Amino acid sequence: MSHREAVSASLETNIQEMTRRFGEDGTLLQRQFEPVSKRGGGLQCCLFCIDGMVNSALINDSIIRPVVLLEQPVPEDTDPILFLERQVMQTNEIRRVSKFSELMPRLLYGDTVVFCQGSKQALVIGSKGFVKRGVTEPPNEPYLKGPREGFTEPLLHNLAMLRRKLRTENLRYEYFSLGDTSGTACCLCYLEDVVDRRALAELRLRLSKVRIDGVMDSNYVAELISDSHLAPVRTTGTTERPDVVAAKLLEGRIALVVDGSPVVVTVPHILLELFQAGEDYYVNYTFAGINRILRIMGFFLSISVAPIYLALVGYHQELLPLPLLLSISQATQGVPFPAMVEVLLLLFQFEVLREAGSRTTSSLGQTLSVVGGLVIGQSAVEAKMVAAPTLIIVAFSGITGLIAPKLKSAVFLSRLLLILLANFYGIYGYFIGLVLLLAWVARLRSFGVPMLSGLPLSRKSSGEDSYLRPPFRMMKKFGRFLAGWGRSQV
């Protein structure tokens, strides 16, 4: 059944069109109204809005009330809609449309549509009033020091938070919608004067190619526009913190805000960002440097401890001090499985507990960790299902993996690859695996920027703000090495 596209001059036709489009939908509210006074005679209006998504007080006070109490006739030769917009409506967000396709998305997103008898246009009045989550600290990125606010779901709120951080006219917002069915509103944010123009052009190109029915979260888009789908590390950054996004915009990056998602995607994204935390810049630089080194070490320990353990106990026993070798031998007596099976079993258990813990309430999560970590682990050792040294190694490997939560999936996959290589080929296999991973990451690019940018690997790179966070007075580039500004100025 085809729909009428243009708004009709007949109010009745427009009402019928709306009724036909929404059918039996009970959430569509319709209200016809007209001036009480004879002096305002001739003006017949009808508004449509979606129940639960609108601010009723605003509609009553600023839309219906001024019309009902109108004591001034519509001037002749004047479109009634234009008259309403200019002289009657008491709202700040208002626009005229002449097509149903233009008004429908807005109506569905909490705006109010007003039709008027005799006008081929309709008014779309901003009246969003749906229930929103309050601004809270993101649970996945908690800070001890620094701003506590995090993004929420509504797009405009998130953009307002960004605007508050960057009060410059160079901050650009580019709106567009994604999702053939969902029509999700999205926004590209960047600073006009520092943005990496090549990355911006590339991002626009990739976004224009996105074809998807619905976008429920920014990760839908991030995955569709990412450089490599098989890469061990993400080529797009994500954060729930406005301060982090603002800082990244200042460095020349581009942020992609998707309506309905508190997670903002930033590009280009380099490897170093995975080890950086916003809090690094809110605490003393020495402490921040130590924390950053701990994160880097934690990552390498997490992917290396278990493979190196397997290589040592399986192939290179001469590298173990004798008391340790004897202690490990003693502990593995009577254990039926080879070391690799023990490691894989325990890692599987650890991942199961982590996943279960993250899906349950915090109180149950604590119980899970106690039951999983202490009871099951201890019982498995006592039952000689696994050896105590293996349990210690896997527990250490698991805990160090939590230091850099952004690398969770990278840690899991890299560790698995290295465990297999180390088990079958010893320390030699471990190093081959490490070289392969490094080569893969070195080959990756994020919107044209190499993933290993920023590391002090060449003379051109100063390595500023890489392994350590220098004091602010010593920072010269403030991370702009990858931005257009950086390329031309430095």
Q: Which of residues 329-358 bind another protein (CB under 8 A)?
A: 329-330, 332-333, 335, 338-339
Cα 418 to Cα 431: distance, rounded to the nearest angstrom = 8
What are the CA-CA distances from residue 271 to residues 19, 268, 296, 323, 376 (Å)? 53, 10, 11, 40, 36
CB of 388 to another protein, least distance (A): 13
**Measured from the CB of residue 328, what is the shortest distance to another protein in angstroms?**
6
Whichever of 237 and 429 has its CB closer to another protein, that residue is 429
Residues 281-320 that bind another protein (CB under 8 A): 313-315, 317-318
| Least Å from the CB of residue 350 to another protein | 23
Options 1-9, 242-250, 328-336, 474-482: segment touching another protein (CB under 8 A): 328-336
List 237's β-bridge partners, or say none.
Answer: 266
Closer to another protein by CB, 36 or 326: give it. 326
Contacts (Cβ under 8 Å, ≥6 apart) of 259: 153, 154, 155, 184, 185, 186
Among 92, 323, 460, 488, binds another protein (CB under 8 A): 323
Nearer to another protein among residue 265 and residue 312 (C-beta): 312
Q: How far is the CB of 451 from another protein (least distance, A)?
A: 19
> Least CB distance from residue 319 to another protein, whole Å?
9
Closest to another protein by CB, 420 vs 455, is: 420
**Minimum CB distance to another protein smaller for 325 or for 413:** 325
Q: Considering the complex, what minimum distance in angstroms separates the CB of residue 392 from another protein? A: 16
Alpha carbons 333 and 311: distance in angstroms, whole number: 19
Question: Amino acid letter at 99?
Answer: K
Measured from the CB atom, the residue of 288 and 328 that comes closer to another protein is 328
Shortest reach from residue 268's CB to another protein, in Å: 25
State the minimum distance, in angstroms, from the CB of residue 327 to another protein: 8
Among 9, 11, 436, 455, binds another protein (CB under 8 A): 436
Joined tokens for residue 466: 């890489």
**Residues 403-432: x where in contact with another protein by CB under 8 A, - otherwise, as a string:** --------------------xxxx-xx--x
Q: Which is nearer to another protein, 26 or 323 (CB)?
A: 323
Question: In terms of CB distance, is 436 or 442 closer to another protein?
Answer: 436
Contact positions with another protein (CB under 8 A) in 132-151 = none
- The CA distances from residue 71 to 41, 67, 385, in Å, are 8, 9, 88
Stretch near another protein under the rule CB under 8 A, chosen from 52-60, 240-248, 322-330, 443-451: 322-330
**Quick count: other Cβ atoms within 10 Å of Cβ 199?**
22
Helix axes 322-332, 388-401, angle to 10 degrees: 100
Q: Are 187 and 155 in contact (CB under 8 A)?
A: yes
Whose Cβ is closer to another protein: residue 329's or residue 461's?
A: 329
| Residue 84 found at the interface with another protein (CB under 8 A) | no
Least distance to another protein, CB of residue 242, Å = 43
- Alpha-carbon distance of 181 to 143, in angstroms, equals 38
Q: Whose Cβ is closer to another protein: residue 77's or residue 318's?
A: 318
Q: What is the CA radius of gyration of the chain?
A: 30
Nearer to another protein, 173 or 315 (CB): 315
Of 36, 69, 326, 490, which lies in the binding site for another protein, with binding defined by CB under 8 A? 326
Q: What is the binding site for another protein (CB under 8 A)? A: 313-315, 317-318, 322-323, 325-326, 328-330, 332-333, 335, 338-339, 423-426, 428-429, 432, 436
